[in-house]
Structure 1
Amino acid sequence: MNRLLFRADGNAQIGMGHVMRCLALADILKADFSMRFAITDPTPAVHSLIESAGVTVVPLPDSADKAVFWGDIHHEDIVVLDGYSFDETFQRAVRARVRKLVFIDDLVKGHQVADVVINHAGGLSETNYDTAAYTKLCLGPHYALLRSDFLRPEGYGHSPSDGPIFVSLGGSDHQNTSLTVLEAIRQADATLPVRIVLGPFHPNRESVEAFKSQLPNLTILQNLSAVQMVDELQNCSLAITACSTIAYEVCAVNRPLIAIVTADNQTQLAQFLSEEKLALSVNFPTLLTRSIPVIALDKLLRLSIQSFFFSPENAAETVANQRRFFDGRSPERLRHIFQELTA
């Protein structure tokens, strides 16, 4: 069987985005490859998450010592890199040792020398990239790196008008933006049912638990499987998420979305969601300037939530726009790319 080796990290400092994209790809390719995942000092929860996806974990002792990775490489491996430290020099060193190299990108920086570069952010073209002549670019949501449960060509049906609000701010949520979102919902209507999914590195679950006194219909969830996440999204009337992979999962399941920039690397995706009207509102709290009145994030979110309830036609428009970009067929396209790499 063909061999696939992933290299990415995930922890409380950098979140779980790199790991989750790799696991989404692993899910798509599991029938065609034996798979390993090289990761620096994985926590027991992350170790278990990777193994539950049917991928063998290869723990690395120190991410700063990149050469440690060389010992885990086999010349027949197709290697998939996802991370911000894997620059041109590192890519060249890996590519010289392996069958083929794939790089999952979201920064659009530097000279790329991988055989394939995947960036599922929208609004990009090949002119945005500086690559080797042989590099194949797979750009945009038609190559969405989402677990297969989120990708149904036939769609998921209409969202229930009386469903709860779904909230998820990513794997780590350093600044506990979850509390700000819950406060905005309280300001809009404290009786609304809310189901919040906390990531494995959430800094303060106790503070979210304490908020139940202000939102009596708040349910707190954690460590959900892909199937469980799809169920939550299918049943919700509105989703409020970070501008990360979770926002793409909402778009793929076709639900009204309010998106929040929670990290600098989310700007490209946020701009795409905003320009193509895939979300009811995309808030850029880190990008406010003197020319824009500074409104607290909870107030901005409250206005967005109220707009959702008072303007259902806007929600219908965003859902229709989502379907144009997320057709559920990215696994077919990605499997074809990897079949070409093994030919």
Structure 2
Amino acid sequence: MKVCIITEGNFNIGYGHITRCTSLYQAFKERGIIPFFIVNGDENDKNTLNVKRKYVFNWLINTNKLFSIINGSEIIVLDSYLAALSLYKKISKVVKIPVFIDDNLRLEYPPGVVVNFSISAKKIRYPNKENISYLLGPKYSLVRNEFWNVQNKTLSDEIKTIMITFGGSDMNNLTPQILEMLNTFFPNLEKKVIIGMGFKNIYNIEAVLDKNCELIYFPSAEGMKKVMMESDIAITAGGTTIYELAIVGTPAISVAVADNQLNNVKTFSELGINYFAGWWQNKNLFENIKKFILSLKNKERRKKMVISGQKHIKSDGSRRIIEYVLNKSNSKSSFE
């Protein structure tokens, strides 16, 4: 069976799409299927994308090459903020099982499977169409296989270690600003700072280090999980990492750095899974972070957040999606 995954990722838009599509790649691979992985990306993707059959090129422009690669596919997954509706329609017509990853009803999708694993997905009024199947909500969470089976984490009595993670590029240069705030108001905290492959502000970060700060360069998914396990709390962007933190059991303070994250982080906060400090440009952002760190010193409050997160977020979402699309593929029905 031929399967293709089409997505995008670079410094300007971040690498979150690649991360969540990697989880689908892993779930297909677990079933003995090695997908073609097609990325509109940059040199970082060429060097770090740990998949076979990978293609890195601008498939938005070079559509002839794209359709040459995907020709004959049984299943195609498309995860994009940039692709036009016309491309979705064209893909929907040439494959039996098209799968579209969505966050906020970006388009009026053509026939296929629409996946939105965000915790706020069911608040969105998706159109009811006979030729579209919807897989909605965090039971379809796209987390990497390193997070599919996580051992129970013991909560410490005090906050001693804090993780700081802003994706693969930290486009808004938040890491050094947050480090400065922590150095001033929480100088005794041990800080574990994730440096992504696309960071262009490493010099700024290194300039504000203190003796309690550890920089962790370009960690793998297993490395990310290790840091989460070792950290009492985290300050994070509002992407897929908040799902991984919830699965591990690390209470988090989230910052929305992209429009599509806002509903997500607000719902996480409403359900008591983490604290939402605000949009990255919010003038009260750092005051909110300080306030929430002080609040999280209460162990019982952290415990409630962990329980809520592990109640709502499921780690086997990729497997559920692959099970569904493979069953659909094996059936006689299609989305025509």
| AA in 1 matched with 2:218 | N
CA distance in 2, matches of 1:56, 1:18: 18
Give the CA deviation at 1:67.
Answer: 4.6
Distance 1:163 1:230, change over 3 A: farther
Q: Tell whether 2:148 aligns with 1:159.
A: no
- Structure 2 length-normalised TM: 0.91
Give the CA deviation at 1:287.
Answer: 7.9
User: Which residue, out of 288, 299, 306, partners 1:319?
Assistant: 306
CA distance in 1, matches of 2:168, 2:128: 31
Pairs within 5 Å for 1:137-286: 137-152=134-149, 155-161=151-157, 163-212=160-209, 215-279=210-274, 281-285=275-279
Give the CA deviation at 1:25.
Answer: 1.1
Q: Tell whether 2:48 aligns with 1:49.
A: yes
Q: Tell whether 2:287 aligns with 1:299.
A: yes
Distance 1:114 1:255, change over 3 A: farther
Give yes or no for contact 1:184–1:299 (8 Å, CA) kept in 2: no
Distance 1:323 1:41, change over 3 A: closer
* 1:211 alignment partner, SS class: coil
Moved more, 115-124 or 14-23: 115-124
Q: Tell whether 2:114 aligns with 1:122.
A: no
Aligned residues: 328
Give yes or no for contact 1:149–1:226 (8 Å, CA) kept in 2: yes
- Structure 1 length-normalised TM: 0.89
* 2:114 alignment partner, SS class: strand
Distance 1:327 1:263, change over 3 A: closer
The corresponding residue for 2:329 is 342
Distance 1:307 1:170, change over 3 A: same
CA distance in 2, matches of 1:110, 1:327: 26
Q: Tell whether 2:86 aligns with 1:89.
A: yes
CA distance in 2, matches of 1:46, 1:131: 37
List alignment gaps of at least 5 residues for structure 1: 289-293
Q: Which has the higher contact order (CA 8 A, sep 6+)?
A: 2
Q: Tell whether 2:101 aligns with 1:104.
A: yes
Give the CA deviation at 1:176.
Answer: 0.8
The corresponding residue for 1:291 is none
Give yes or no for contact 1:159–1:234 (8 Å, CA) kept in 2: no
| AA in 1 matched with 2:205 | V
Determine what percentage of the aligned residue pairs are the same residue. 22
Show CA shifts across 1:84-137 (max 9, x none).
Answer: 123432211012112311011112233112421111111222862126422111
Give yes or no for contact 2:23–2:318 (8 Å, CA) kept in 1: no
The corresponding residue for 2:334 is none
RMSD of aligned Cα (Å): 2.1
| AA in 1 matched with 2:307 | A
Give yes or no for contact 2:256–2:278 (8 Å, CA) kept in 1: yes
CA distance in 2, matches of 1:155, 1:131: 39
CA distance in 2, matches of 1:286, 1:239: 16
* 1:40 alignment partner, SS class: strand
